[in-house]
Amino acid sequence: ELFSPSTVKCGKYDRPEIIIVPYYFVIRSGKLPGVGMVHAPIALLPTSFPESHWKQACELAPIFNELIDRVSLDGKFLQDSLARTKKVDAFTSRLLDIHSKILEMNKKEEIRLGLHRSDYMLDEKTKLLLQIEFNTISSSFAGLGCLVTDLHRTLLNDYGEDLGLDSKRIPGNTATGQFAEALAKAWTEYNNPRAVAMIVVQTEERNMYDQHWLCTLGITYNVRTIRKTLAEIDSEGQLLPDGTFLVGGQAVAVVYFRAGYAPTDYPSESEWRARLLMEQSSAIKCPSISYHLAGTKKIQQELAKPNVLEKFLESKEDIAKLRKCFAGLWSLVDSDITKKAIEKPELFVMKPQREGGGNNIYGDDVKETLLRLQKEGSEEDAAYILMQRIFPAVSPTFLIRDSICHKDHAISELGVYSAYLRNKESVIMNDQCGYLMRTKVSSSNEGGVAAGFAVL
């Protein structure tokens, strides 16, 4: 009955295709962050996804972890690959400057922690699982994603039979616990019982309840956490000669970034100073500047070139598995591809070096932007990469945002979380850690949940 629009009823509302969900607070109760609450956008029911492709995505997680770690150690590869981008993209340029300073110091990150999410779409025509991107900074929704899994399982326990959906087919989602475990283990490796874990947050953080699960660090692992903005870190931070990083006089063992991935996170020099100071310290950065750069779209495109993976990995089997999930990726230097993209822009996505959704270029805008860049003959083309557009299967979905449920045709993107922790030669953790399914109306190009395009 749920799937038949004419029969959807809820309370006094009796309108086709719209359900008002009564139990959430839509009208924000205040302006302070965390007081004016609104529920995260969610899909009412889980999305189906082929088990074999699911397994494939899970299997790729530890291989990508290892690849990123090795790429992060190759400072020259990162600098050279991003050298042209540096000239035209001020944000990437600042990140590369920090990276250069760290290289000059000859500083080695001996304890390295990655909390990643690799995103995929299943291309309907070719039945290929293709990677959208690999996130190495602020991979979000591990916390809320697990809750949505619980919500869906609960709903299917109650209504699954009527809907023909089996709650047992919903895979367990352990992202929250495993990410907390990885942070706690990193804290242990740092080996200072008085040190804290610090979460770097945005000034007006809207997604704090996704980060709330980090509290389990305190409860389960007895690790104290503090939350600071980059500006606060600049004013309260201090680097001791031995590399210890203090904030408000307190030693920091692990710095976990939930901010710092976008230019808007650095409104003044203060934020950049904070980022550099932390990078120069012995605190474990998640991510380090090298991990951050290794997760850029330009590096994704460089890694997809022939014979590049071979520089970083030995196992032919692993290399083949990674390559199988690479979509077409090109730099704009490739004139054959730019010509093709001008002719058939709907088959491509143009991406700048940005994170967080809402930055990519689609459709006719691809054509216009490419023509403009050609005409101007500037080096601005180096700011972008071109990617094959992936077309996942479309299915009817109930999407709930601001307490209103819409039925629409939607497509989904599977994210697989992974954690990597290493201390010198010893790999302490290299695991797949749960998942996130994001769903958006098929007519929307972009996919960010926080950016307002998709639901969990």
358 is in an annotated binding site: yes
Strand partners, 10: 13
What does the alpha-carbon distance between residue 284 and residue 278 come to, in Å, rounded to a whole number? Answer: 9
Distances (CA, A) of 45 to 68, 162, 363: 34, 13, 30
Shortest Å, Cβ 9 to ligand ADP: 33
Using the contact rule CB under 6 A, the part of the chain among 29-37, 224-232, 249-257, 347-355 near ligand ADP is: 347-355
Task: Considering only residues 55 through 94, tell me which ones interact with ligand ADP, judged by CB under 6 A.
Answer: none
Query: Least separation, in Å, of the C-beta of 11 and ligand ADP?
Result: 33
Candidates 185, 285, 422, 438; catalytic one: 438
Q: Does residue 357 touch ligand ADP according to CB under 6 A?
A: yes
Residue 355 assigned to a binding site: yes
Residue 270 near ligand ADP by CB under 6 A: no
Nearest to 177 by CA among 456, 417, 415, 356: 417
Nearest to 302 by CA among 83, 139, 57: 83
Q: What minimum distance in Å lies between the beta carbon of 413 and ligand ADP?
A: 5
CA–CA distance, 7 with 401 (Å, rounded to integer)? 21
Which of 232, 237, 355, 434 is an active site residue?
355
Task: Out of 274, 276, 327, 382, point to the residue binding ligand ADP (CB under 6 A).
Answer: 327
142: its two tokens? 């591990």
How far apart, in whole angstroms, are the C-alpha atoms of residue 312 and residue 397? 41
Under rule CB under 6 A, which residues in 358-417 are in contact with ligand ADP?
359-360, 387-390, 413
Indicate whether 137 belongs to the interface with ligand ADP (CB under 6 A): no
The two three-digit tokens of residue 384, written as one number? 């972008």
> CB 26: neighbour CB atoms within 10 A?
13
Whether the Cβ atoms of residue 286 and residue 114 lie closer than 8 Å to each other: yes
Comparison of 192 and 359: residue with beta carbon closer to ligand ADP: 359
What is the nearest approach in angstroms of ligand ADP to the Cβ of residue 140? 10
Nearer to ligand ADP among residue 186 and residue 393 (C-beta):
393
Instruction: Tell whether the torsion through CA atoms of 206, 249, 291 and 429 is positive or negative.
Output: negative
Per CB under 6 A, which of residues 88..127 are in contact with ligand ADP? 119
Tokens of 443: 């007519």
Question: Which residues sit opposite 351 in a β-bridge?
Answer: 385
Going by C-alpha positions, the residue among 66, 79, 63 that lies closest to residue 289 is: 79
Least distance from ligand ADP to the Cβ atom of residue 389, Å: 4
Q: Determine if 356 is a binding residue for ligand ADP (CB under 6 A).
A: yes
Task: Write the binding mask 215 to 234 for ligand ADP: x where contact by CB under 6 A, - elsewhere.
Answer: --------------------
Helix (H) or strand (E) holding 156: helix 142-163
Segment interacting with ligand ADP (CB under 6 A) among 174-182, 229-237, 248-256, 442-450: 442-450
Instruction: Give the pair of three-digit tokens for residue 325.
Output: 């999930």
Closer Cβ to ligand ADP, 228 or 298, answer by number: 298
Distance, in Å, from the CA atom of 394 to the CA atom of 230, rounded to the nearest integer, reads: 41
Q: Is 449 in the site for ligand ADP (CB under 6 A)?
A: no
C-beta closer to ligand ADP: residue 174 or 360: 360
| Residue 271 known to bind ligand | no
CA gyration radius, the chain? 22
Which one, 218 or 448, has the nearer CB to ligand ADP? 448
- 129, 132, 197, 383: which one binds ligand ADP (CB under 6 A): 132
Active site residue 377: no
Q: Which residues pair with 6 in a beta bridge?
A: none
Nearest to 369 by CA among 336, 341, 407: 341
340 annotated active-site: no
413 among annotated binding-site residues? yes
Phi and psi angles of residue 191, each rounded to the nearest 5 degrees, phi first: 65, 45
Residue from 384, 447, 455, 456 binding ligand ADP (CB under 6 A):
447
Stretch in the footprint of ligand ADP (CB under 6 A) among 143-151, 152-160, 267-275, 441-449: 441-449
140 catalytically annotated: yes
Report which of 328, 303, 298, 333 is spatially closest to residue 318, judged by C-alpha positions: 303
- Rounded distance, CA 295 to CA 310, Å? 18
Q: Which residues are annotated as a binding site for ATP?
A: 133, 297, 351-360, 362, 387-390, 413, 440, 446
Interface residue list for ligand ADP (CB under 6 A): 119, 132-133, 327, 349, 351, 354-357, 359-360, 387-390, 413, 446-448
What residue numbers does the annotated binding site for substrate cover? 117, 137-140, 205-207, 211, 258-261, 438, 449-450
Q: Which residues are catalytic?
A: 117, 133, 135, 140, 297, 351, 355-356, 438
